Structure 1
Amino acid sequence: MGLRIMDDIHAPTVSSGPTSQPTANGTSPKQSLRDLIAQKDDLEAELSALSSVLDSHGVNMNTSLTTIDGFPRADIDVAQIRTTRARIIRLKNDHKALMSKLEDAVHEQFATGKQEGLPTNGAMSRTSMNETIASRPAAPVLEPAFAKVNAVVPGSPAEQAGMRAGDRVVKFGSVDCTNHERLSKVAEVVQQNENRPIAVKVLRVASAVSASQAQDLRLTPRRNWGGRGLLGCHLVPV
């Protein structure tokens, strides 16, 4: 019999504050504005990648990882999700501390007349310098999935479209996480588009440690392909 666990399994405990370590003499070396901006971009890119890992499981930072009886859910990788959440919390703390450093660095650059890593403009105000940093594009955040592909039949329309078992569906024609109604709308789209291609977007994880990658597919429902149904795949809600 499985071991019952605490209800707060989905809320890992981590220390607050930045995870970077000071130098041997107890002080951190002063960093240039360019270096701080590069660190900000790297942090935001990693946060986006980690968010896509959660999306691939159909969970967020607050989704319960236990059943109603208090046991770990069997349909998701609880250990990976807890590790990912803990890392996200640490990186968000790092990001908050880094933004404070960036603000100080911008003020110092403005005061000394140096604008390293920013457009050279003697009339540029302190506010516009802050806005320049804040407006730098962050890595895109992937849409949440609403269904998982449990199985794909060889030779089926789903396989020919490139769909794989384990894929997480984020878009199926006009259907997404906001309107799928426990996948009933997916069935409607399939019936309405027999022998016509449907645009499908899925999230695919190459390995347990890699982030999800979005894949755009063209799936054409059809009969007489040698198996049951119009797709040849099994979808379950997440």
Structure 2
Amino acid sequence: MKPGDPQAVRVMFEEIASSYDTLNDLLSLRLHRVWKRQALSWIKPQPGQCLLDLCCGTGDVSFLLAEQVRPNGTVLGVDTAILPLQTAELRAATQPWLCVRWRQADAIMTGLTKSSIDGAIMAYGLRNILDPMGGLWEIHRVLKPNGRATILDFNPQPTGLRAYFQQFYLRQLVVPIADYFGLKQHYNYVEGSLDRFPTGQEQEELAYKVGFRIARYIPLAGGQMGLLRLEA
């Protein structure tokens, strides 16, 4: 699969939707939950806010946000793939006290009104977008002035020991475990997607180009993951 191909990415996430949460827990030893909470700490969700979860998948981050904006706030989860959104809707039905809405849309063209969102997060989504700069531009467009956003994803490692470890992790751990679930080809995709993904410094530069006032990249997990913290 060609990294960034919108149609191929949508189909891939349709096919892995039923196993996605289980694999995330297995492959990260549940650390992805810690990293996502670290991402939320920059946004500082407040009761009554309207927040955006881009590339929301099955909605785990959306529900974390919704807990913090109660009782009058709203969270909108946006994803290009319908099956993960359907899973998120089923989960939402068991938590009717949370105000979460779902929309199928491209992260580059959400259809949201300009300057309508208090804060936004994208976890493991920017790497899958054909045009990462376009994704950053859309986040900036929908954020209110001084609104905050954060992006969590793998941190590309071009060379050195960290690059070796990242390659080893993907080839010897991620792909074999995914193969057990019958999803080998889907997770082979991750390594290729990193080849075209901007480094932390490049992400900062792109963010400033689209108009963000603050853009700071924070490495996580020994540099294997990273957070891009943004303020409009």
The TM-score normalised by the length of structure 2 is: 0.21
- Work out which of the two has the higher radius of gyration on C-alpha atoms and give 1 or 2: 1
Q: Whose helix fraction is larger, Structure 1's or Structure 2's?
A: 2
The TM-score normalised by the length of structure 1 is: 0.21
